[in-house]
């Protein structure tokens, strides 16, 4: 790996690619045993890195991503609760979907997440649904999801896989 980094900085063919070494992060991903075998004393690595808005950590637990999404979503949910007395249900639902619900839509990346991480994401969605319909936080959530036409997080992840399989086997679909 060090050879690749040195080549990146010295090769003339990479003149169009500029890399600022103070902003470049290296993330080694693997199991604890695998990471222990790598001598990375000459390479400064990080424990997590953001790529295209998604935070990857070295053990691929996505706990940093879930924490970041939770923090951001709960901030927006609190703001939505502040302005919800002035909004009708349709407007609140549109705002919720565009600002918060869209952050929960990384279905293919959330596949095979630990149950604890999925539970945290589901709690965000439950809180958002209650904020949209102005229901108490202790309300039963299933009727609210039916009213909003929303799927639970696990259903959204599984449904995304079903759609991919159906498209792969449907001869009428372009592809």
Query: pLDDT tens, 49-78?
Result: 777 777 777 767 778 888 888 999 999 999
Half-sphere exposure in the Cβ direction for 16 (13 Å, CA): 1
Supply φ then ψ for residue 165, to 5 degrees. Answer: -65, -40
Higher pLDDT, 175 or 82: 82
Band of residue 159 on the pLDDT scale cut at 50, 70, 90: low
Give the pLDDT confidence score for residue 145 in this predicted structure: 93
Rounded to a whole number of angstroms, the CA Rg of the chain reads 21
The residue whose two tokens read 């929303």 is 150
Evaluate if pTM is beyond 0.95: no
State both tokens at 69: 């999404």
pLDDT at 46 over 90: no
87 and 137 in contact (C-beta within 8 Å)?
A: no
Q: pLDDT tens digits, residue range 7-45?
A: 445 555 445 455 666 666 666 777 777 777 776 556 666
Ramachandran quadrant class, 170 (left: phi over 0; alpha: psi -120 to 50; beta: rest) = beta
Half-sphere exposure in the Cβ direction for 142 (13 Å, CA): 0
């Amino acid at each position: 790996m060090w050879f690749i980094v040195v080549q990146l900085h010295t090769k003339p063919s990479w003149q169009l690619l500029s890399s600022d070494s103070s902003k470049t992060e290296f993330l080694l991903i693997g199991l604890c045993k695998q990471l222990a075998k790598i001598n990375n004393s000459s390479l400064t690595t990080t424990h997590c890195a953001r790529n295209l808005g998604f935070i990857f950590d070295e053990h691929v637990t996505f706990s940093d991503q879930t924490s970041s999404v939770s923090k951001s979503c709960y901030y927006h949910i609190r703001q939505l609760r502040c302005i919800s007395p002035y909004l009708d249900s349709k407007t609140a639902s549109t705002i919720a979907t565009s600002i918060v619900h869209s952050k929960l839509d990384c279905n293919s990346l959330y596949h095979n997440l630990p149950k604890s991480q999925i539970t945290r994401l589901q709690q965000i969605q439950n809180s958002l649904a209650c904020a949209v319909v102005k229901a108490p936080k202790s309300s039963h959530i299933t009727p609210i999801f039916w009213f909003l036409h929303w799927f639970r997080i696990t259903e959204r992840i599984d449904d995304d896989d079903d759609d991919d399989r159906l498209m792969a086997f449907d001869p009428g679909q372009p592809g």
